[in-house]
Amino acid sequence: MADQFLYEQLNSVSGMGFLKREIPQSVSLNLNPKFEVRPYQIEAFARFFHCHKNDFPGKAYPLYFMFNMATGSGKTLIMAGLILYLYELGYRNFLFFVNSTNIIHKTKDNFLNPQSSKFLFTPDIVIGNRHVRVSAVENFEGINQNDINICFTTIQKLHIDLTTEKENAITFEDFRKQKVVLIADEAHHLNVQTTSEVELFENWENTVERIFKQNDDNLLLEFTATVDYTTATVVDKYRNKVIIRYDLQQYRNDRFSKDVMIVQSDFALEERILQALILSQYKQEVAAKHRINLKPVILLKAQRTIAQSHENKANFHKLITGLTAKQIAQVRKSDISVIQRAFQFFAENNITDGQLVERLKREFHEDFCLSVNEEGEKEQYQLLLNSLEDRNNRIRAIFAVQKLNEGWDVLTRPTDQRPCVTRQAT
């Protein structure tokens, strides 16, 4: 029992029926009703409620828990629900931090913008007969004690603000004077010291640990799809902290994940891009025939440099502008089965190569393509990225370097066009 992870102990508790899977009204009535709370999310809530209220081997204060859950499984919805629950228990201050500004902007939109299609709360939050606002704050000085006050920051900025004197920046005193819930997304990036073979004097992990331990009522909640269960130091750190492990395999077995088909080709890069375009349009045409609103998106990812990504984008638009039926006919020679199915569908539905060219030129016009390589670009287009599946969002292609590997919902994660492999979600 001593060698078990906390989540393994909770597996037994859950299997014996000892977990109460009742979500309090403060949570159920204030989450956006358009989002279904799935069984595994209810399980995650139940495990947190159980561990928060009851003793378990190794329980220590301040409380520290990890949610190890697959990308796209709705960790942000769980965060929102826990914020509501903890507000009812008296918490008012929440620090959300992550390693990427891209995720910061997305999460702000999800937590603060009622006009967003992914806004997680009801427009009017009511807890204990009190109407509650969600407010973004820079620090916890002079905040409204009736609000849910959230400070959004990156790990890097948090570390700098706390280790350098700076006006209006958050301070260690903020965490000592009042209890704070720390919410770490993509939390595996925190383990700078845990995974290092040498003692590091000052680092992100040390900073988080120091602010966390300022007050025994503070609470640290980590969320990630990535936990290294093979490294002894990581295992030791998280043995009494991981309350749920819901990996990609289980997520897929529960039929919440897309199946992914990997299509490999020996064609030149331009022809592989044409394959991706044709398959993308094929999916849209099939969906339209069955009166389903579906807009596939292609991600063209440069492996190394922003300059390479800019070159990819320029070549892509040149290809689209000069596209001919002859080029489409060349792709028709491919012996890849899904390509053949696409052309069979086009033939059965009287879509000629010429018509396909016109549709691709229209759908992949430069106005409907995004570049998200620079930080400024990501901020400018964050709302478009966060709403790719909305009906009025017409983005069909995205150009990036290794910028969007984390924090981008599976629902909005597009087809990935790489130099050697075309990945198509089916």
Computed on alpha carbons and rounded to an integer, the radius of gyration of the chain in Å comes to 24
Over the stretch 284-328, which tens digit does the pLDDT of each residue have?
A: 999 999 999 899 999 998 877 888 889 999 999 999 999 999 999
In a domain, 164, yes or no: yes
Over the stretch 335-367, which tens digit does the pLDDT of each residue have?
A: 899 999 999 999 999 999 999 999 999 999 999
Domain identity same for 226 and 280: no
Domain identity same for 80 and 112: yes
CB-based contacts of 126, cutoff 8 Å, min separation 6? 29, 30, 132
Beta bridge partner(s), residue 95: 151, 182
CA end-to-end span of the chain: 42
In a domain, 15, yes or no: yes
Domain identity same for 181 and 279: no
Number of structural domains (the chain) is 2
Domain identity same for 15 and 127: yes
Domain identity same for 243 and 284: no
pLDDT tier for residue 417 given thresholds of 50, 70 and 90: very low
Beta bridge partner(s), residue 66: 222, 242
Helix residue ranges, H only, 54-127: 75-88, 101-112
Over the stretch 71-114, which tens digit does the pLDDT of each residue have?
A: 889 999 999 999 999 999 999 999 998 887 778 888 998 999 99
201-205, 222-226, 244-248, 296-300: range with lowest mean pLDDT: 201-205
In a domain, 159, yes or no: yes
Residue 222 has what pLDDT? 94
pLDDT tier for residue 161 given thresholds of 50, 70 and 90: confident
Residue 306 tokens, joined: 């922003």
Domain identity same for 57 and 197: yes
161-175, 227-241, 387-401: range with lowest mean pLDDT: 161-175
CA distance linking residue 22 with residue 18, whole number of Å:
12
The secondary structure of residue 127, as a DSSP letter, is: E
398 contacts 372 by C-beta, under 8 angstroms: yes
Domain identity same for 284 and 379: yes
Cα separations in angstroms, 390 against 57, 167, 286, 319, 342: 46, 40, 19, 27, 25
Mean pLDDT score, 272-277: 94
Domain identity same for 280 and 231: no
Tell the residue number behind the tokens 């269960």, with chain if given. 229
pLDDT at 194 > cutoff 60: no
Domain identity same for 287 and 236: no
In a domain, 326, yes or no: yes
Residue 421 has what pLDDT? 33
Report the candidate in 391, 410, 186, 185 with the shortest Cα–Cα distance to residue 299: 410
Choosing from 225, 253, 281, the residue where a domain stops is 253
9-23, 65-79, 410-424: range with lowest mean pLDDT: 410-424
In a domain, 157, yes or no: yes
Domain boundaries, position 294: 260-425
Domain identity same for 162 and 27: yes
Q: Is the dihedral of CA 344, 350, 356, 357 positive or negative?
A: positive
Domain identity same for 265 and 296: yes
pLDDT at 206 > cutoff 80: no
pTM: predicted TM-score of the whole model, two decimal places: 0.81
Residue 359 tokens, joined: 């549709």
Q: Write down the mean pLDDT value for the chain.
A: 86
CB-based contacts of 333, cutoff 8 Å, min separation 6? none
pLDDT tier for residue 378 given thresholds of 50, 70 and 90: low
Q: Exposed e or buried b for every residue in 339-351, given b needs 16+ CB within 10 A?
A: beebbeebeeeeb
- Give the start-end residues of each E strand in 278-367: 298-301
Domain identity same for 110 and 22: yes
In a domain, 1, yes or no: no
